[in-house]
């Protein structure tokens, strides 16, 4: 706990779940600024539950979560909104918003009681729009966008919220390979160039290995955490799935189907 | 959000339309007063016939003002419900909120004769009518919201609203069966809906309620915009969900309940106007929509009331018949053009 101040997000012996039902326990990791971290694991192992707990949409069961050195539960809603932004799997309730309107909502934690945008707010919005290649789509309504475009808009909104930490729940589902890579590349760029800490859940383990700085593997036992190459050396990916069906190839960092 | 400037012209036009609708509404009625005489009367000049002056200032102007408040307030309440329920077909009437208000009013108007042994209850004042109707609408709104938390399906929610409407009207029928003819008549006339015949005390009370509802609505503008993304996103933007949700419910309940108490259960305005408004103001930004919807609702209500007057005739149609004729096609049009259901 000595350098808890330096870490943007850290957990200690975290247990997550619903009420009395424990979904995952012994989750320990800590992330510094400018880190892209992927959370991988089998279906139902608790990736989304973990992300929802980190975003304080549901209470943790045990352990501690620190956000910039302060316990997560000690944050007021407005304080939290300036430290943590989210991209969820659920689509926005109203798809009648234009791209620019939706991204502008990311500035709410900083605007006055009416939500009026200042010059600095507008600059943040423009930066996000440009970073996610949305300039041509500014005035397009969200229901007219493709899945990949909408995902970029939602991430741009999180970027406009200008928080040190961004949480994303399965940002690459429903996308083709090209758009999966595009999204992850943009996230990597956002983490490294803007010094954001970005945590996302994903099923794209091979992409996560190639692009992430850190990976948290939820395996239902001790949940190893570290740089992808360290985890490969320690043979953690092998234990992710039953080996009779698929096997992990440590040389290429990919899974192979057993013939 | 993007460019509030580009709607300036639309606001000017809609304000001019409101003034025209007001003058048109005031100049028509059972007694024929020439249009220009009405206009000069409104400018404060004395009129040639003294009874005209009385009709103008003691009947028509208060009635027009009531119609303005009723139309604007109900539409605003519809907008609040559509955003809160994330449902384009939500509105005070469809969700059974108006039925709740009816039940409250019925309990007060007819239940008091039912419970006549309690002498103190036989007094039915304006304030108690407003309170009873508002309480009834709050009750239904809270129950519907609780159900909506579990059921995300648009159609299911509407059917539930209709069922609440049936339950409350059944309860009203039971009350009607046991009540005195006099109270029943009072209730029936109330349920036709009317924006006329409000005493100055009633009108000032209605004004107060609508102002309070509008004020709460304005205070909720930022939260309403955040709710457009869904509740989780709203929470992540720093919106205090519980508090904002309650303020919006209270605003919607006050507007729907207070207005229903004085003008009767007026149908379709709350549901249709937000959609009609978006045909002109193509935005979801509540800083634009809140004033635009209020103005549009006021215009539509004034026009409906003008038609209900049947110019130069003593007959006045029930206002509900007119608003249904206007509103029901809008709902059908919405359902047919599914794209517009995207809220």
Per-residue pLDDT of B10-51, as tens digits, reads 999 999 999 999 999 998 887 878 888 888 888 888 877 888
pLDDT at B313 over 50: yes
pLDDT at B334 over 80: no
B22 within a domain of the structure (yes/no):
yes
| Residue that has been written with the tokens 């808890």 in this structure | A4
Residue B323 sits in a domain whose CATH number is 1.10.3470.10
Using an 8 Å CB-CB cutoff, list residues of chain B that contact chain A: 1-2, 86, 219, 221-222, 225-233, 235-240, 283-285, 287, 339, 342-343
pLDDT at B119 over 50: no
CB proximity A78 to B under 8 Å: yes
Question: How many separate domains does chain B show?
Answer: 1
What's the mean pLDDT in A194-223? 94
List Cα–Cα distances, B196 to A221, B68, B183, B221, B232, in angstroms: 73, 12, 20, 32, 44
What tokens appear for B156 in the block? 């299911």
Same domain, A194 and A144: no
Query: Which residue in A has a C-alpha nearest to residue B227's C-alpha?
Result: A93
What tokens appear for A226 in the block? 């570290």
Domain membership of residue A37 as a residue range:
1-83+164-259
Same domain, A148 and A259: no
Confidence of residue A15 (pLDDT cuts 50, 70, 90): very high
ipTM of this complex > 0.90?
A: yes
What tokens appear for A17 in the block? 């779940």
Which tens digit of pLDDT belongs to each residue from B263-288? 888 888 999 999 999 888 989 999 99
Same domain, A176 and A50: yes
Mutation target among B85, B88, B229 for the A interface, most CBs of A within 10 A = B229
Query: Which residue in B has a C-alpha nearest to residue A54's C-alpha?
Result: B236
CB proximity A88 to B under 8 Å: yes
pLDDT of residue B62: 94
What's the mean pLDDT in B238-255? 90
pLDDT of residue A28: 96
**Residue A138 DSSP label:** T
From the list A90, A95, A102, the residue facing B232 with the nearest CB is A90
Instruction: Indicate if the alpha-carbon torsion angle B252, B253, B256, B262 is positive or negative.
Output: negative
pLDDT at A4 over 70: no
Confidence of residue B117 (pLDDT cuts 50, 70, 90): very low
The whole-angstrom distance between B338's CA and the closest CA on chain A is 12
| Residue that has been written with the tokens 């029936």 in this structure | B188
Dist. CA A31–CA A212, nearest whole Å: 12
B1 within a domain of the structure (yes/no):
no
From the list B221, B227, B236, the residue facing A114 with the nearest CB is B221
**DSSP codes joined into one string, B126-152:** HHHHHHHHHHHHHHHHHHHHHHHHH--
pLDDT at B90 over 90: no
**Is the Cβ pair A115, B225 closer than 8 Å?**
yes
Query: Which residue in B has a C-alpha nearest to residue A166's C-alpha?
Result: B236
Angle at B238 between CA A79 and CA A91, to 5 degrees: 135
Q: Which chain A residues contact residue B229 at CB under 8 A? A: 92-94, 102, 105
Q: Which of A162, A178, A198 is the last residue of a domain?
A: A162
Buried b (16+ CB within 10 A) or exposed e, B14-31: beebbeebbbbbbbbbee
What's the mean pLDDT in A163-173? 95
pLDDT of residue B54: 86
Confidence of residue B341 (pLDDT cuts 50, 70, 90): low
The whole-angstrom distance between A6's CA and the closest CA on chain B is 23
Q: Which chain B residues contact residue A88 at CB under 8 A? A: 230, 232-233
Same domain, A197 and A147: no
In whole numbers, what is the pLDDT of chain B averaged over residues? 84
pLDDT at B118 over 80: no
Residue A12 sits in a domain whose CATH number is 3.40.50.300
pLDDT of residue B120: 43
Q: Which of A143, A162, A181 is the last residue of a domain?
A: A162
pLDDT of residue A166: 97
Which range, A187-196, B124-133, B333-342, has the best average confidence (pLDDT)? A187-196
Same domain, A141 and A20: no
Helix (H, G, I), strand (E, B) or coil at B265: coil
**Is the Cβ pair A115, B2 closer than 8 Å?**
no
Same domain, A79 and A169: yes
| Residue that has been written with the tokens 């059908």 in this structure | B332
Query: Which residue in A has a C-alpha nearest to residue B286's C-alpha?
Result: A114
pLDDT at B155 over 80: no
Q: Which chain B residues contact residue A139 at CB under 8 A? A: 2
Question: How many separate domains does chain A show?
Answer: 2
CB proximity A140 to B under 8 Å: no
Q: Which of A110, A131, A162 is the last residue of a domain?
A: A162
Q: Which chain A residues contact residue B339 at CB under 8 A? A: 143
What's the mean pLDDT in A188-194? 96
pLDDT of residue B201: 86
What tokens appear for A151 in the block? 């995902």
pLDDT of residue A92: 92
pLDDT of residue B157: 73
pLDDT at A202 over 80: yes
Q: Are strands A21-31 and A9-18 parallel, antiparallel or unpaired?
A: antiparallel
B204 within a domain of the structure (yes/no):
yes
List phi, psi (to 5°) of A216.
Answer: -110, 120
Q: Which chain B residues contact residue A106 at CB under 8 A? A: 237
What's the mean pLDDT in B76-82? 94
pLDDT at B89 over 60: yes
From the list A81, A96, A104, the residue facing B236 with the nearest CB is A81
Domain membership of residue B221 as a residue range:
6-341
Same domain, A117 and A72: no
**Is the Cβ pair A108, B237 closer than 8 Å?**
yes
pLDDT of residue A178: 94
In whole numbers, what is the pLDDT of chain A averaged over residues? 93
pLDDT at A2 over 60: no
What's the mean pLDDT in A17-39? 95
**Is the Cβ pair B221, A115 closer than 8 Å?**
yes
Same domain, A203 and A258: yes
Q: Which chain B residues contact residue A143 at CB under 8 A? A: 339, 342
From the list B227, B232, B239, the residue facing A77 with the nearest CB is B239
pLDDT at B4 over 50: no
Same domain, A13 and A53: yes
From the list B228, B236, B342, the residue facing A143 with the nearest CB is B342
From the list A91, A106, A108, the residue facing B222 with the nearest CB is A108
B308 within a domain of the structure (yes/no):
yes
Q: What percent of chain A has pLDDT over 90?
A: 83
Reported for B115-124, long-range contacts at CB under 8 A and 24+ positions apart, including other chains, are none
**Is the Cβ pair A84, B235 closer than 8 Å?**
no
pLDDT at B252 over 50: yes
Interfacial A residues in 26-55 facing B (CB < 8 Å): 55
Same domain, A149 and A65: no
pLDDT at B328 over 50: yes
List phi, psi (to 5°) of A230.
Answer: -60, -45
pLDDT of residue B262: 87
**DSSP codes joined into one string, A210-223:** HH-SEEEEE-SSS-
pLDDT of residue B2: 43
pLDDT at B1 over 60: no
Pick the range with the lowest mean pLDDT from A141-150, B52-61, B98-107, B113-122: B113-122
From the list A80, A97, A114, the residue facing B287 with the nearest CB is A114
The whole-angstrom distance between B218's CA and the closest CA on chain A is 8
CB proximity A161 to B under 8 Å: yes
**Is the Cβ pair A105, B238 closer than 8 Å?**
no
Which tens digit of pLDDT belongs to each residue from A97-140? 999 999 999 999 999 999 999 999 999 999 999 999 999 999 99
pLDDT of residue B198: 84
pLDDT of residue B36: 82
Contacts of B274 (CB under 8 A, 6+ apart): B75, B78, B79, B82, B289, B293
The whole-angstrom distance between B19's CA and the closest CA on chain A is 28
Query: Which residue in A has a C-alpha nearest to residue B82's C-alpha?
Result: A94
Same domain, A187 and A63: yes
Which range, A142-156, A229-243, B50-64, has the best average confidence (pLDDT)? A142-156
Same domain, A106 and A69: no
pLDDT at B152 over 70: no
Confidence of residue B343 (pLDDT cuts 50, 70, 90): low
């Amino acid at each position: 706990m000595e350098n808890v101040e330096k870490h943007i997000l850290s957990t200690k012996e975290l247990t997550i779940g619903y009420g009395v039902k424990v979904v995952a326990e012994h989750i320990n990791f800590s992330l510094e600024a400018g880190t892209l971290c992927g959370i991988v694991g089998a279906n139902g192992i608790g990736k989304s539950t973990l992300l929802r707990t980190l975003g304080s949409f549901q209470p943790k069961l045990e352990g501690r979560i620190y956000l910039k050195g302060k316990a997560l539960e000690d944050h007021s809603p407005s304080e939290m909104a300036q430290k943590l932004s989210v991209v969820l799997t659920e689509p926005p309730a109203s798809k009648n918003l234009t791209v620019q309107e939706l991204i502008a909502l990311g500035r709410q934690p900083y605007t006055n009681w009416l939500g009026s945008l200042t010059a600095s707010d507008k600059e943040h919005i423009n930066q996000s729009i440009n970073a996610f290649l949305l300039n041509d789509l500014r005035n397009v309504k969200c229901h007219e966008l493709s899945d990949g475009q909408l995902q970029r808009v939602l991430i741009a909104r999180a970027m406009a919220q200008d928080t040190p930490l961004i949480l994303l729940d399965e940002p690459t589902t429903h996308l083709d390979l090209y758009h999966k890579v595009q999204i992850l590349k943009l996230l990597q760029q956002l983490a490294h160039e803007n010094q954001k800490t970005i945590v996302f859940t994903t099923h794209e383990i091979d992409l996560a290995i190639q692009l992430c700085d850190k990976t948290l593997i939820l395996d239902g036992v001790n949940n190893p955490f570290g740089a992808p190459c360290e985890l490969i050396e320690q043979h953690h990916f092998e234990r992710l799935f039953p080996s009779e069906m698929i096997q992990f190839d440590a040389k290429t960092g990919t899974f192979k189907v057993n013939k | 959000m993007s460019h509030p400037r580009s709607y300036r012209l639309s606001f000017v036009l809609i304000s001019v339309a409101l003034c025209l609708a007001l003058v048109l509404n005031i100049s028509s009625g059972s007694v024929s007063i020439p249009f220009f005489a009405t206009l000069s009367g409104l400018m404060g000049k004395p009129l040639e016939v003294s009874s005209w002056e009385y009709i103008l200032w003691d009947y028509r102007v208060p009635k027009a003002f009531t119609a303005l408040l009723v139309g604007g307030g109900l539409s605003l309440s519809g907008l609040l419900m559509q955003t809160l329920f994330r449902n384009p077909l939500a509105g005070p009437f469809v969700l059974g909120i108006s039925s709740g208000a009816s039940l409250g009013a019925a309990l007060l108007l007819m239940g008091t004769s039912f419970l006549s042994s309690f002498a103190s209850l036989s007094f039915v004042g304006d304030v108690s009518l407003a309170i009873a109707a508002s309480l009834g609408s709050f009750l239904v709104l809270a129950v519907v919201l609780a159900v909506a938390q579990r059921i995300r399906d648009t159609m299911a929610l509407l059917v539930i609203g209709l069922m609440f409407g049936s339950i409350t009207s059944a309860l009203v029928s039971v009350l009607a069966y046991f009540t005195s003819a006099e109270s029943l008549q009072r209730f029936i006339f109330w349920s036709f809906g009317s924006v006329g015949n409000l005493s100055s005390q009633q009108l000032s009370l209605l004004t107060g309620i609508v102002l309070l509802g509008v004020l709460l609505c304005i205070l909720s503008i930022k939260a309403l915009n955040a709710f457009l993304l869904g509740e989780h996103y709203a929470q992540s933007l720093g919106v205090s969900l519980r508090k904002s949700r309650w303020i919006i419910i209270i605003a919607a309940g006050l507007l729907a309940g207070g207005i229903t108490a004085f003008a009767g259960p007026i149908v379709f305005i709350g549901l249709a106007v937000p959609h009609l408004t978006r045909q002109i103001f193509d935005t979801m930004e509540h800083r634009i929509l809140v004033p635009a919807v209020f103005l549009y609702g006021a215009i539509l209500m004034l026009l409906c009331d003008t038609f209900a007057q049947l110019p130069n005739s003593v007959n006045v149609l029930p206002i509900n018949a007119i608003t249904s004729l206007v509103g029901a096609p809008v709902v059908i049009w919405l359902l047919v053009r599914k794209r517009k259901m995207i809220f």
